[in-house]
Structure 1
Amino acid sequence: MALNVDHLLRTAATLEQALLAIERLEKQDDVIFDLYRNAAIKSFELSLETAGKLLRKALTAYGASSREVDKLVFNDVLRHAGKHGLLDILEVERWLTYRANRNNTAHDYGEGFANETLKLLPQYLQDVRALAPHIQKVFDAAS
């Protein structure tokens, strides 16, 4: 089975649609706003986890064993991705911020925090879409 980034791009597309739906809403105190905000945040969480799994697989192409990569915490996976050119320094910093935010979304269910997360998502969407072709190149080269 060839590895690809199709699922990652699908989660990005879902996130984009949720963000576009939010932009079209006239008021933010509506339950529909909550629905789309929650969909955006869930898409963010899913795509971040998917990106992490794909990065782990991509790192094995640089000589690390699957066992070694599996021992890495997510932040170290991001740092190694930077080391191998999958992310630049600024992207690594942003991805570390996304991860920290994700860790908080798992424990903080407040409306204020959810709205703060929404502010990160347009840049995140750009970053996830920029990362996907880098990962795909690694998979293509390894096959």
Structure 2
Amino acid sequence: MAIDYTKFKNSLKRLEEQNENYQSMDSSLPELMKEAIAESVIQRFETCFDSTWKIIKRYLSDELGLLDIPNSPKPILRAANENGLLASDIEEWFDYLDARNGTAHDYSEEKANVSLEMANLFVDDAIGVYQTLSGETWE
């Protein structure tokens, strides 16, 4: 059965759109609006990161026949790297994972800023994974 990339694609599209909103945000917006947009980017980053490692796991098992990979992000990312599925360095992916985990329970300004920076970098890497796994060009 073919892998359905719809959830991954949709979560990545939403992150890409909201990240663009955040990056081009008008400085005259009220602080509450700026915070809301930033929090939306962080939540979409968390969701998209989770969708990414889960679809990679599915690809590793269904397409490459690797069935004995633990169901957690680090070993899945390592296997993806070993199989040429990540265009960027594995350490960058571990940084994304740390940023994702850092904001899961703590929205301190420092962790939020790190997560926003990582989300901005993550978009292009996640698009690369999408294109590699699905064989489709990103729209």
Gaps of 5+ in 1: 138-143
Deviations along 1:51-102, one digit per CA (max 9) or x if unpaired, are: 111011111122222xx23x243111001001111114x4322111100111
CA contact (8 A) 1:15 1:40 kept: yes
What is the CA–CA distance in structure 2 between the aligned matches of 1:12 and 1:79, rounded to whole Å? 21
- Cα 1:29/1:120, change in 2 over 3 Å: farther
Name which of 62, 65, 85 aligns with 1:63. Answer: 65
What is the CA–CA distance in structure 2 between the aligned matches of 1:14 and 1:63, rounded to whole Å? 30
Q: Match for residue 36 of structure 1?
A: 37
Secondary structure class of the residue paired with 1:24: coil
CA contact (8 A) 1:78 1:92 kept: yes
Identical-pair percentage: 23
Query: Which consecutive segments of 4 or more residues in structure 1 shift more than 4 A?
Result: none
Residue 27 of structure 1, CA deviation: 4.3
| TM-score (structure 2 length as normaliser) | 0.85
Q: Match for residue 13 of structure 1?
A: 13
What is the CA–CA distance in structure 1 between the aligned matches of 2:20 and 2:60, rounded to whole Å? 33
The one-letter amino acid of 2:66's match is A
- Looking at secondary structure, tell me which structure has more helix per residue: 1
Kindly report the root-mean-square deviation, in angstroms, between the aligned alpha carbons of the 2 structures: 1.9
Bigger relative contact order (CA 8 A; separation at least 6)? 1
Residue 18 of structure 1, CA deviation: 1.6
